Structure 1
């Protein structure tokens, strides 16, 4: 299914030493009451630049959170260590308060539960201390909520929906443990990923094209559902196929196509999926018993075209899981917050931008040539002049050098805390 993360081996630069040093600089005395601890955190002179400043009237939450730093850049372990030190300080002083709304929390509301929300957001650095304490859900709170939502991969609505409330009420101690878990993962992955590489972070459901330690492209992705997870792997992209035919994996034939053919005998014909025997001869689907226990031992292949499962592009890299990256005709799915819908492969939004970036060193394959080839409808494989490293990783918490910490749901339940499991939907298998 997925490869295991090995136990982290401690590096020459001990993070324990870092934590001890950091604690000596910013640790605060433990306070008796949680409420007092919250106020102490809010008013602490040692907060430095942890508060992230932004225009509360015209929200720039996504711009403030988005960075051209890659998740696994050379400073990733240090950035996580700094985040861990800050969260240790928060935990040692009582954490943050839970938010229990009396009314729907949105712009214009005036309610005592907004005060809880303000305290919560100030402690985590989403709301500037200068916004103060009141019962008013004003533009400062709205902007802070959007900032919080952006950091957690949620829809930036600016109001407290069910999923934002769940994320708000994950305790600081749980978030600290999540950061520590992911520091071990980042350390184990190392920093030698290549001068140019593609990284897919599965829980974040996006892909980064990285060059010279900066993100050249960041593309929204759709990854495997929990019942059919996208595997962790390291490989090299060696080929792009434009207008690819799709050979249907056996698992999809058995789990999906067999039941569909039982309901609709014209399904394969409508989807332009042809059947071939081991001699390459086409087989009429009407001759198959679709109620049999096992799928027929035939090759199922969908013709190329804009409505095929892979649409314009298939990106190939060597791996034992038979997965790849590809385009999709279902572009509307990229607008979903929950993008864990595939059978293991990774669908890439705006994949032609990634095609151009991958082929930049391959003579004769500029964007115009790529577009002409796709428009032709002819299946065309192209070998990359220089193979590009490709990494599928599982990182649910990370931090950039500006101190902005990001968290994502633990979609495959690898972090070990039920509070971190998939929050943004209840029906994904």
Structure 2
């Protein structure tokens, strides 16, 4: 009886004590609009709604797609390149200020002439992109602070400059003009001109190269001797190409890999040093950094297709090289972000590091018995590849950034060998 009363009392008391569950906050997934599909075009547009100013991450397709940002109302629009005569699958995530990405939303845009012809015959809707505009000039030098681009295109279409609507339209005679600002100083600027028809179909871009010849103000550093400039040439190469790394803590690491053709930037000139890195991207970097062979890719995984830019890298890394493997459902998940632990293992294995037995130091949050990545973090700590955080932790399940990967790769190369 006493035992029963004690258990009953314990249940009553415990039911009155609030239980606090601490859960990691995640970003709500974006609401993605139904894409225009099928379509006969080189480009598609992904639109939707997310939290205001949330980072929008789109992966998939032919190329790396730079992250964008939702506006003050939460609306976003991302232009993507389409593989011709194929289904194009993209994954869209939102990311809040705490860098906690949402679950991905998957969409597919079908590009194909036959599919569009059938669709247009059934619905009467226009799904065919207009022809690319024609420009009167494609290489220009000017001393003015602005230049008017003149050309022709589909009548009634909107004129886009660098994927942004300019507010100008092609007139009824098929002609247009649009003014752009020029920075001057002898720098060549590239403007991508496209047109969008009334149905929302986008043409291909046409580039115009404009060099502003206005006066350039030199500072004292620009007036150094030719010898000093020659000595610094290798170190500064690439700075003008990557627009968002100046002053970044990983600038030197990024430039070393960039100048050795291991990494590249986004199409808009940014590198995105603080962006997360995907499984496909880190596989490519690892193979190029350590000069490993790349073979023609096979469709070994259900989510890696022959037209994907990463197919050869994934096939090589998951094949004889044994750097990565897929999942039990026969997928590779190329667009999933990589954690710090996963990245470290991939880089070390690609570099051929296998001397883990004598390594004992580790980080405070790594269990040397139960954590599968303990030997990799121990090696990284003892060799100085990774310093961890100020509290002594490694945080292996946290996503790694592009800058952090560059640092680890360069430090490892320096400790093993050097670029030829």
| TM-score above 0.5, yes or no | no
Q: Which has the higher helix share?
A: 1
Tell me the TM-score normalized by structure 1.
0.23
Computing the radius of gyration from Cα coordinates, the structure with the larger value is 2
Using the size of structure 2 for normalisation, the TM-score is 0.24
